[in-house]
Structure 1
Amino acid sequence: MEDIAQVRAKRARIDAIVDARLRAGNFRHEVAGFVPRGAKNILDYGFGDGSLLLWLRREKHCTGLYGVEVDPGAIQAVDGLYDRTWLVDLNREDAHLGPEYEGFFSHILMPMSLEHTYDPWFVLKKMNRYLAPGGSIIVEVPNAQSWECAYRLLTGDFPYVSGGTWDFSHIRWYTLKSLADLGHVCGFRLTSYDLLFPGQVDLEAVRARESITSLELPPRELQSSCPRIRLEFPVDIKEVYPLLLAHVLIARLEKVREPEDHEPTARQGYLESYRVSFRNPAEGVSGLIPHPICPPLAEAVRGKAQDLLARGVS
């Protein structure tokens, strides 16, 4: 049992880590907001400096803190502050947390990590195994649907930089629709989301507009001085317009079933068959164009989709 001096020393370490992140101005308040007060058994996938879970312990009295990292320095920095940590790369087929942690966690936090993950479908199926029934994954990713991504692509710019949306280590890109689609393959349902904007945005003015059928890049709501590009849409995009203004997505993926397998993602129409069998609730205007299925795979995709529908995976 810890004595008073040990408890005080631990509190001081927690305060130092959390307060340093708060002073830096980049604490993940929005991710933390998805975790209820007093939650137990939370796993942070890629916990970095450890501040997110330690803030949840300090401010929301959460207990049972666990973390996965590939950086030995991060493991050492939170030694004695988490209930357990793993130095492991869960992208590997032979990497696991152990059977005693199956169905164990109430929440798994994945802030700014899925964009670094080569096979996110495989990793999320692993996470499904470790979540308790009804548990949730809280995902934070850069938003590939943002106006800036479209603007840069239209002007021929795909900048690899150190940090931020265009960090050179990002190997996957997501929209809200693709996050819901990813979750569906792995046994989750996207139940709620939040948006982060690069500055002040007057969303009330957006809501007051009767309809929106065009988009200016950059949007006038952001008051940018960049030359403008105007895009016309064949439908009203008012419902999805805020998604075009946001640069970061945060989504809750709730566990609703076990995945059909826990294997690395297969080829030959595996992902396409899920998309065809599932009407995505976040599809927006993307339903105007067909699924990008390679013609030689069309028959295999339809067969797999029919099998999924017969098993109630929709």
Structure 2
Amino acid sequence: MTSTSTAPRDLRDFYEDPSVPVASGDARSLRQARMLADAIGPATARTAVVLDIGCGDGTAAATAAPLLAGHRVIGVDWSQDALKRAHAHLPYVVRGELTDGGLPFADGSADAVLFSEVIEHLVDPDSALDELRRVLRPGGHLMLSTPNLAAWYNRGLLLAGVQPVFSEVSLRGIHGRPGTEVVGHLRLYTARALREFVAASGFEVVRVAGAPFHGVPRPLRALDRLACAVPSASSILLLHARRT
């Protein structure tokens, strides 16, 4: 199926469009928030500074908020339009970019970083992880989520010669794969590739878990939830790592 739209002038124009989907669903947000809450503990012991990098419109942080009560969550995005929308969900929002020194925080000033559905959109993920490592304190937590190239249905699609779900060959439309939404994915990871990449960037990988994807057709959603028990085959990869 092919979907067409007016071509964006560049990637920034594309991501400024509020109609572009920015998250893979509440189930992913909740699972990721539970992992983070378990890692940093309750705010009664210590108030943690959590940076939601690439916060978009703030809906994912709003979903996670009840599990992170008492901790200071700061939304960060390069888009001023996104930050205006995020402010409805987050008390603290600031502009920042994933370049060398592009985040407006001192070295080692954050206890945790939420990095949800961002890395697949980046031209230079290496520099992005360098910047996240800079702002995290030693031992600080990185909670990263991204679509899984090797999701259970993608394995079957590739065998049939069909372009995998989540992959995109154009910003103007969908070509050669199921789905109707263009979301601007530039890079995709398997569980193994994600582990190796994050470890090579100066982090110790603690755990990789799976999460379902809201875009899976309703008759297949029960199977998609079952696939989460095997993260390497799940729709969404959830990675917890610590800064070394």
TM-score bracket relative to the smaller structure = 0.5 to 0.7
User: Alpha carbons of 1:168 and 1:65: their partners in 2 closer, same or farther (altered >3 Å)?
Assistant: closer
Q: Is the 8 A contact 1:32 1:52 kept in 2?
A: no
**TM-score normalised per structure 2:** 0.68
- State the alpha-carbon separation in 1 of the partners of residues 34 and 77 from structure 2: 22
Give ranges in structure 1 of 5+ residues lacking alignment. 1-23, 204-220, 223-240, 257-314
Unaligned 5+ runs, structure 2: 1-24, 169-173
**Could you tell me which residue of structure 2 aligns to residue 111 of structure 1?**
116
CA deviation digits over 1:71-130, x for unaligned, max 9?
A: 2222112448433411x331x45x5124x5210111101111111112211100110010
Higher gyration radius (CA): 1
Q: Quote the RMSD (CA, aligned, Å).
A: 3.2
TM-score (ref. length: structure 1): 0.54
More helix by share: 1
Q: Distance in 2 between matches of 1:53 and 1:62?
A: 14
Paired residues for 1:14-163 under 5 Å: 28-36=29-37, 37-38=42-43, 39-79=47-87, 81-86=90-95, 88-90=96-98, 92-93=99-100, 96-98=102-104, 100-158=105-163, 160=168, 161=174
Q: Amino acid of the residue matched to residue 249 of structure 1?
A: L
Amino acid at match of 1:190: V
Match of 2:202 in 1: 187
**CA distance in 2: counterparts of 1:166 and 1:251, whole angstroms:** 25
Give distance in 1, aligned partners of 2:142 and 2:61. Answer: 14
Instruction: Determine what percentage of the aligned residue pairs are the same residue.
Output: 22
CA gap 1:194/1:167 in 2 versus in 1, 3 angstroms: farther
Instruction: State the Cα distance separating 1:243 from its structure 2 match.
Output: 3.8
Cα distance in structure 1, aligned partners of 2:207 and 2:161:
34
Deviation at 1:202, TM superposition (A): 9.9
Question: Once structures 1 and 2 are overlaid, which stretch shifts more, 139-148 or 152-161?
Answer: 152-161
Residue pair 2:191, 2:232 contacting (<8 A) in 1 also: no
User: How many pairs were matched up?
Assistant: 195
Runs of 4+ more than 6 Å apart = 162-166
